[in-house]
Amino acid sequence: MQAIALALVAVEHAGKLRTLKLSESLRAETFAYGAIITIILLPVISWIAAGAKLRKPSLLKLSKGADGRASTSKAQWLAWLTVIFYGYLVLTWLRWRAGAPLVITNVPVNLLTVLGFSTGTAVSAKAITGSYVRAGKTAKAAAGTTGAKGGLLSDDSGVPDVGKVQMVAFTVLAIAIYLVNLWRSTSPGHFTGAMPDIDSSLLVLMGISQGGYVGKKLVTYGSPVLYQAVRDRAVGAGPHTAKVTGHFLTANGAPGTLLIDGQARPDREWRAGQITFEDPEPGSQLEVQVSVGGQLSNTVTLEPLP
């Protein structure tokens, strides 16, 4: 009898949700206030979780890597976390106004899957980068320092990364569609209190793009990449020197070959993230490359000092 009574109550609540006509003003206000609360609450939660080590709560800081630059994997994870949190918050408030239970018990499987995909991508990217840094195979340049060119859609050399562009494009598309469906699902006279789902075909496309991003990260790590070449200002009459920064500049701890205008040149100091060498032509523009373990890097330009 108790089970039957509970079932009748559930049916009653469901009926209320199906037939209740939410006003357009209530829906608009809920979406607006929900966005404000989400923007304020998530940074505060992260600030508390970090032990108040951050100077101030900031949502954008969650999308940055340890080097201070925007991380594509963290950005897409943060985007989905924010959208799902926002959707749950909006629906919970509307369910309360509809007199229904606050807890949303039936969260769509595809929605849980996409959150799992985004979290797995962020964790995998962090693990790959961290393992190479700890092994001394690469050195990440911090944002604002010489050679820090990587970004949300570009690799560490500043070149647009197709894998990043693809993943960001599908993420933005999926989030836009989800927010539209969230708005439509709360229309007056059609509100059910359930979270909208993500189309399976779109979920597959996102899974492929995120898998391609992680796979490309595995494959490209190991190839030498140069950030920037700069000349040191000469002091006295001694030989002029220059530096080039990058990552994967050694192979099993051994240096490679420095190439200036296509010709091999001796170096003074060769480290995992920086090479110091004698400037052969201080007043000329030179093209710098390195060859490490049989792999040739990109080319950077060594400009004359102003």
Q: Looking at the structure, do residues 168 and 260 belong to the same domain, yes or no?
A: no
Q: Looking at the structure, do residues 270 and 289 belong to the same domain, yes or no?
A: yes
Model confidence band, residue 5 (pLDDT cutoffs 50, 70, 90): very low
Q: What region, left, alpha or beta, does residue 248 occupy, with left being phi > 0 and alpha being psi -120 to 50 degrees?
A: left
Q: Looking at the structure, do residues 282 and 147 belong to the same domain, yes or no?
A: no
Q: Looking at the structure, do residues 231 and 215 belong to the same domain, yes or no?
A: no
Identify the weakest region by mean pLDDT among 20-24, 41-45, 234-238.
Answer: 234-238
Q: Looking at the structure, do residues 205 and 245 belong to the same domain, yes or no?
A: no
Q: Looking at the structure, do residues 57 and 91 belong to the same domain, yes or no?
A: yes
| Beta carbons within 10 angstroms of residue 290's beta carbon | 26
pLDDT tens across 169-223, in order? 999 999 999 999 999 988 887 788 888 999 898 899 888 988 888 887 776 666 7
Alpha carbons 40 and 25: distance in angstroms, whole number: 23
Q: Looking at the structure, do residues 144 and 234 belong to the same domain, yes or no?
A: no
Q: Looking at the structure, do residues 106 and 57 belong to the same domain, yes or no?
A: yes
The 3-state DSSP class for residue 137 equals coil
Q: Looking at the structure, do residues 172 and 252 belong to the same domain, yes or no?
A: no
Q: Looking at the structure, do residues 95 and 131 belong to the same domain, yes or no?
A: yes
Mean of the per-residue pLDDT values for the chain? 78
Range of the domain at 126: 2-220
Handedness of CA 37, 41, 43, 44 (dihedral sign): positive
Q: Looking at the structure, do residues 47 and 142 belong to the same domain, yes or no?
A: yes
pLDDT for residue 134? 62
Residue, of 234 and 142, whose pLDDT is higher: 234
Q: Which of 220, 243, 264 is the last residue of a domain?
A: 220
pLDDT for residue 136? 56
Chain Cα centroid distance, residue 144: 18
pLDDT for residue 18? 47
pLDDT tens across 236-261, in order? 556 788 888 887 777 766 778 888 88
Q: Which of 220, 249, 277 is the last residue of a domain?
A: 220
pLDDT for residue 246? 81
In angstroms and rounded to an integer, the radius of gyration of the C-alpha atoms of the chain is 26
CATH number at residue 240: 2.60.40
